[in-house]
A and B are shown apart, each in its own frame.
Chain A
Amino acid sequence: MRNPTPALRAIAAFFWLISLACAAHASDLASALKGLDTSKFPEKEKAIAAIVASGDPRVADILTALGDGKLLIRKSDRRVVIGDGDGQSKISDAATGEDLGQISEGEFDKIAINNKIRRQIKAIIGSLTLFAADPITRLKAAEEIFRSRDQAAFEPLQEALGKESDAAVRRAMEQALAGLILTSDAADKERIAAIETVKSKGGQDATALLAEIAHGEDRVAQAAREALAWLERSRVWWDALQNAVYGLSLGSVLLLAAIGLAITFGVMGVINMAHGEMVMIGAYVTFIVQEIIRNSAPGLFDYSLLIALPLAFFLTGTVGVGIERSVIRFLYGRPLETLLATWGLSLILQQAVRSIFGPTNREVGTPSWMSGSFQIGEISLTVNRIVIILFALAVFLCLLLAMRYTRFGLQMRAVTQNREMAGAMGINTARIDALTFGLGSGIAGIAGVALSQIDNVSPNLGQSYIIDSFMVVVFGGVGNLWGTLVAAMTLGIANKFLEPLAGAVLGKILVLIFIILFIQKRPRGLFALRGRAVEA
């Protein structure tokens, strides 16, 4: 018998390999999972492809677990398991779903992934969850396909589109399909039609896709350029709106920081350099409340800020009353001494907090209802910023009403306008002074609760706000709450419109120059108080 030629031998080997590959396809998930037990990321990518190729219904669960860092390898037998959280963990077999009981930290290795694998997983899960029962999952799947542009999702997407009944999901699927057509080698006509659909989607993902194909001279590229130009034009307005919203947000932060000072400095005329430290104490109260909740009642975490608010108000208010009674009341009418004394206080408070809590940042978590962002047209608004805008306005309104309609507010205004006369009418002016200072400090404290959501909770927290606070109060007009509101918002919006043009550093300098010039022209700020109180 003649020996087979090398060519024949090669063909035979090829078929043998193919049959092996088919066997691997059909074989159980378990062997594919074994491939994840490696430290090399390219090999993990291959293993993931093999897992998907197995076609097992558990693939989506396994990959979701991998993406969430819950896919583990049990050290004792190198079995791939799915855990349910950190540390002490209940595990189940990844391939079969069989319950394997508890496992403790140190008994497993987490399967590490990198960003490339994360993208791979997202794209796969996108096409796997197109048929999920929950319309929101389907919507997310369609959006994920639009972003990943995974051509393998084309047929499942078409099929899903045929079955889809929800209008919003249908739209998202059509857009995703258009995105796939656009990046495929379909006919020009189809692709140009797809550009229209992608254009109607708008947003950054659509811009990215169009920008990618806008190179070249053919008709498709031209159409893409036109669509881009159209999106660009509509974006000018969105940009302006976005800057305005960002400005309001920055303004509300300034307002929160300054509003307490508007009382102590604005109404009482006390230059309180320790104001920033009141804000800091408020932030630390939030931290303590959250620590206690984390350790004893984790279910209450979403309410931690609401619990912290009154506590921060009363604690900083009490500290404020204490400061007024022990230091400031001896220094009324001596602004320079007050400045130095409160300064010393601010250093003492800072160092005290540093000694108790350490110099490092403390973690203050964000409740779930304050996390994330939502999209309005082309701009994305983050929930925590919106909450802070509303909160700042609410605090402002409450303060305004309290000053206007409560007995304490009336007495406070009486004392600041004419101390002797108020005293003659039977008002205990010393008590009112202490309470007013306490009110200003308390409001700084609740500002601290809000600011803990967007800034560092460290002993230096207050320092960064004290200058801005004085700026706002002086610019708005000392002694006028409305002035504080208008000044905070004006400075916030001006800053945000300057920032894209001049950069953050120059933008801030320009705002400061503007204020210096403004104060030269109108030394009493935007809304100057008139009358005897001012002259005194």
Chain B
Amino acid sequence: MAFTTEIRKRVLATAMLGAMVLGGSAAQAQEETIKVGILHSLSGTMAISETTLKDVMLMLIEEQNKKGGLLGKKLEAVVVDPASNWPLFAEKARDLLAKDKVAAVFGCWTSVSRKSVLPVFEELNGLLFYPVQYEGEESSKNVFYTGAAPNQQAIPAVDYLMSEEGGGVKRWVLAGTDYVYPRTTNKILEAYLKANGVAAEDIMINYTPFGHSDWQTIVSDIKKFGSAGKKTAVVSTINGDANVPFYKELGNQGVKAEDIPVVAFSVGEEELAGLDTAPLIGHLAAWNYFQSVDDPINAQFIKDWKTFIKDEKRVTNDPMEAHVIGFNMWVEAVKKAGTTDPDAVGDAIIGVSVPNLSGGTSTMMPNHHITKPVLIGEIQADGQFQTVWQTSGTVVGDEWSDYLEGSKDLISDWRKPMSCGNFNVVTGKCGGQGS
């Protein structure tokens, strides 16, 4: 079995490598452009989510070129396909930085792919803009995290559910896919819930394999757990393909949002597009952006996107917004620095503010995370979310969680003279753990 997938990956990798060589030589023919790397899987399991991000990057680059490019040069997209294969991500990243000499890379979705490329970016001093909500516990000089850290998504969602308006939830199911993001997020949430007086027996943690499709037992366990006389909610860090059968089973077993709401951190408009959402009305998701946000900039973006992709039915989602913000920040920083040199851009980008799509501005903080509003939305019958709650202002991404033993004393600040991703405020030293 492992054997078969391995060969499959090899075959795929070889094919892609061939395509890369061809693409690379074609790219070299042109002169005087600024190259932007796009490192998203276009085949394999993650293609479902990442292909959209590649498209949105192509659109942003095209728009920037229409505006006259950057520093008097045209931007040129270099698209590679790491094929949902984590080691291949590192190889492709190396190609982008060393061979294509791209000025910045926009890419990765899963945490494991980010961890895989991280040493490459640090070694070759590249810039990576990472657009997906993630588990935190990391801050690299070479990475800009434009997705949400746990305090910009998970913790506000739990706060909302605990509140009077959210239903006063007292009992929690933390259900996730078995890999690093759900495990770390659930660890933080568990610590946070316990700090807020939730007893250990009122927390149920459940992990399932990637692509899990038979949810009968788990959904009926959730129902059982929810019948202990206390208001119960499910916090779902279930990722990717497994969500559709999960929600189908919820709908079929009649788990209504009024009784046991499910708040998801990895389900956006794209995931709902493959689902009949009528039985799911009222289940929740926490993000920093919804397509339904009523704002002129967002309306324009949606219109541009539909025109670019030539499909009226295509939706927009949170990681797309993160790329919009990240790309605009990079453009501003390059203008400010007057060069695409990674060190100069890295220094210039801190403090850069650009409009986000939900009617506010987002700022790049010294810890390489950005400020974002947090929105809680309910699933609607048309597959969109309707915001039921949001933070009054923006929230600063907190890379080192305050609720975990190893990380609560750490901060990160990439401004000189500190320039440190894991400064321990107790010992006053840089380093110790993390990257």
Mark interface residues in B212-238 (1 if CB within 8 Å of A CB, else 0).
111011101101101111100000000
Report the number of A-B residue pairs with Cβ-Cβ less than 8 Å. Answer: 171
Q: What CA separation (Å) do A453 and B244 show in the bound complex?
A: 10
Contact B213 A454 (CB under 8 A): yes
| Stretch binding the partner chain, chosen from B5-13, B352-360, B405-413 | B5-13
**B252 in the interface (beta carbon within 8 A):** yes
| Stretch binding the partner chain, chosen from A55-63, A376-384, A437-445 | A376-384
**B275 in the interface (beta carbon within 8 A):** yes
**B273 in the interface (beta carbon within 8 A):** yes
Q: What CA separation (Å) do A248 and B207 show in the bound complex?
A: 23
| Stretch binding the partner chain, chosen from B114-122, B320-328, B374-382 | B374-382
Contact B167 A246 (CB under 8 A): no
Q: Tell me which residues across on chain B come within 8 A of A162, comparing CB atoms.
A: none
Contact B271 A361 (CB under 8 A): yes
Contact A380 B221 (CB under 8 A): no
Q: Tell me which residues across on chain A come within 8 A of B124, comparing CB atoms.
A: none
> Of B229, B273, B382, B386, which one neighbours A360 at CB under 8 angstroms?
B273
Contact A454 B245 (CB under 8 A): yes
Contact B216 A249 (CB under 8 A): yes
Contact B217 A373 (CB under 8 A): no
Contact A250 B381 (CB under 8 A): no
- B284: nearest residue on chain A (CB-CB)? A115
Q: Interface extent on A, as a size class? A: 35 or more
Query: Which A2-42 residues have C-beta < 8 A from chain B?
Result: 41-42
Mark interface residues in B162-177 (1 if CB within 8 Å of A CB, else 0).
0001110000000000
> Of A211, A463, A503, which one neighbours B229 at CB under 8 angstroms?
A211
**A243 in the interface (beta carbon within 8 A):** yes
Q: What CA separation (Å) do A183 and B172 show in the bound complex?
A: 24
Instruction: Give the shortest distance, in Å, between B149 (CB) and chain A (any CB).
Output: 26
Q: What CA separation (Å) do A119 and B165 show in the bound complex?
A: 12
- A121: nearest residue on chain B (CB-CB)? B258
- A242: nearest residue on chain B (CB-CB)? B220
Mark interface residues in A353-380 (1 if CB within 8 Å of B CB, else 0).
0100011111101100001110000011
Instruction: Give the shortest distance, in Å, between A139 (CB) and chain B (any CB).
Output: 15
> Of B43, B249, B254, B259, which one neighbours A354 at CB under 8 angstroms?
B43
| Stretch binding the partner chain, chosen from B44-52, B60-68, B86-94, B420-428 | B44-52
- A457: nearest residue on chain B (CB-CB)? B274
Known: A382-B249, A503-B207. 7 other contacts (CB 8 A): A69-B281, A69-B380, A208-B227, A359-B48, A457-B274, A467-B4, A504-B217
Instruction: Give the shortest distance, in Å, between A381 (CB) and chain B (any CB).
Output: 9
Give me the 7 closest cross-chain CB pairs, A-B, nearest first: A361-B274, A212-B229, A211-B229, A204-B227, A382-B252, A208-B227, A359-B47
Contact B208 A504 (CB under 8 A): yes
Query: Which B244-294 residues have C-beta < 8 A from chain A?
Result: 244-245, 248-249, 251-254, 257-259, 261, 270-271, 273-276, 279, 281-282
| Chain A interface residues (CB < 8 Å from chain B) | 41-42, 69, 86, 112, 114-116, 118-119, 122, 147, 204-205, 207-214, 242-243, 246, 249-250, 253, 273, 343-344, 347, 350-351, 354, 358-363, 365-366, 371-373, 379-380, 382-385, 453-460, 463-464, 467, 495-496, 499-500, 503-505, 508
| Chain B interface residues (CB < 8 Å from chain A) | 1, 4, 7-8, 11-12, 42-45, 47-48, 51-52, 165-167, 178, 206-209, 211-214, 216-218, 220-221, 223-224, 226-230, 241, 244-245, 248-249, 251-254, 257-259, 261, 270-271, 273-276, 279, 281-282, 378, 380-382, 386, 388
Contact B43 A351 (CB under 8 A): yes
Q: Tell me which residues across on chain B come within 8 A of A242, comparing CB atoms.
A: 220
